[in-house]
Amino acid sequence: MEDPELEALRQKRYADLQQQAQNQAAQQEQAARMEAQKQGALRQILTPEARDRLANIRLANPQMAASVENQLIQLAQSGRLRGVIDDAMLKNILAQITPQQREITIQRR
């Protein structure tokens, strides 16, 4: 002796939840696909040593690593990048990007 209105609401809610799950799965799949494309592009741009350095930076500072990755990919796509970036070149790029820290000294009187 189920209420037909209650059953209709349950069916609608179940359909909504299924649609949300499908949308979420599609978004995750698209994000994974984009990440794979990004990693493939970085594999072509960077030497293995430079990729290792960038992976270490990603562990310490994910935002900076993402920024550097995006900039390198944009340079490669625009054709302004000549050759493969090795570890020394990546160090130079990172030195230019990271803000210079000022040394603070405290004097007690």
Structural domains in the chain (count): 1
Task: Dump pLDDT digits (tens) for 66-87.
Answer: 999 999 999 888 988 888 999 9
Domain annotation covers residue 101: no
Which pair of tokens denotes residue 37? Answer: 């494309």
Ranges 9-23, 24-38, 91-105: which has the least confidence: 91-105
Task: Dump pLDDT digits (tens) for 20-71.
Answer: 999 999 999 999 999 999 999 999 999 999 999 999 999 999 999 999 999 9
Domain annotation covers residue 107: no
Domain annotation covers residue 49: yes
Contact 87, 47 (CB under 8 A): yes
Domain annotation covers residue 23: yes
Residue 73: count of CB within 10 angstroms of its CB? 17
Rounded to a whole number, what is the distance in angstroms from the first to the last CA of the chain? Answer: 87
Domain annotation covers residue 100: no
Report the distance separating Cα 88 and Cα 77, nearest Å. Answer: 22
State which residues form the domain around 23.
4-95
- Band of pLDDT at residue 1, cut at 50, 70 and 90: low
Q: Which uninterrupted H or E stretch holds 20?
A: helix 4-45
